[in-house]
Amino acid sequence: MKPKNALISLAISAVTIYHSSAQTKSTVIQEDVSLTIKVEKVDSWQGKDVFHYVLDNGIMQVEMTNFGGIISRIIVPDKNGKLENVVLALEEIPDYFTKNGPYLGAAVGRYANRIGGAAFTLEGETYHVTKNNGQNTLHGGKEGFGVKVWEPEIYKKEDAVGVKMIYLSVDGEEGFPGNLETTLWMELTAANEVKLRFESTTDKPTVVNLTNHSYFNLNGINRDVRDHELRIFADAITPTGSGQIPTGEIRQVDGTAFDFQTARNLGTQMDALGEGFDHNYVTKRENSTELKKIAIVKHPASGRMMSVFSTAPGVQLYTANHVRNFAGADGKVYQPHWALCLEPEGWPDSPNKPEFPSTSLSPGGKYVHEIIYVFETEH
């Protein structure tokens, strides 16, 4: 998975890279050759300190915050070495407190995507969760994981630096059962990989489905993403009915506008569909721990390319259909189709579809989801 242009030799110095919530000033931790982290307390929210992190491997930078587990910027070079941000963003970290309706870059939970009727039955007991998408629940309810302050700790590995974050979702939060403790590792490697790993445990039977909701635009967010090429390693989707709730069918994509089994121009496929995409692709038929390449995105003009890996059984392709006149970072105003999301996750409405891969978690078990974004340039 190492890109051809990645630095692969590093000299790691013996330095502790930990900060507590009492830290209030900017700190730079320098690994001898290229790996650095900058940490700055920027504000507080609901009595908890909020930090801004900048991870740098000498080639690219990733900015993130412990508010919402948000990736706020990913800055990568094009084929000529020009550095640009490639994810939709807000200008400052405190802007995310109240202005992040589209979930830009957020850690999404307790249940990513939709639960039909905002209810499900688990081990004979019916639970009613918060309705925030018509009659359904979307991305965990009104105040999901993307608006919570996570407890952070910086860490280093042989070839990576990152931030470990922990959030405890208490029993009954947004209607979900069980005290669910989630740890999220977010790191940048020397090989231009942005790695995310979610691990959750519970003290009561519950459902859990976690992802990252970054909006990618590899042209540097200078126009829509119709000029991107997309390949998705999936031969089927889960079609939806009313309220975008899956019907239960698994439908083959061969020869349809949904077919990205070979690389296709996104604009051409959108024209064939007659609208933007907001659909779950079947990357696995059942749950497994296999880390699988699920998608490749290319922007031919800039040479930027991103590969996506995940252990989840599905990935939601969303082309920012409802982002309109949205004031983003750097004075840009985002419009429909100015980005695409590839949200690796369990299938939508799985708690109400016993034929779908299960998203249930019991005491003594562990939910694990790993996501990797790999950035390269083609010349």
Q: Which residues are catalytic?
A: 213, 343
In DSSP terms, 307 is beta-bridged to 296, 374
Q: Which of 39, 107, 38, 40 minimizes the C-alpha distance to 67?
A: 107
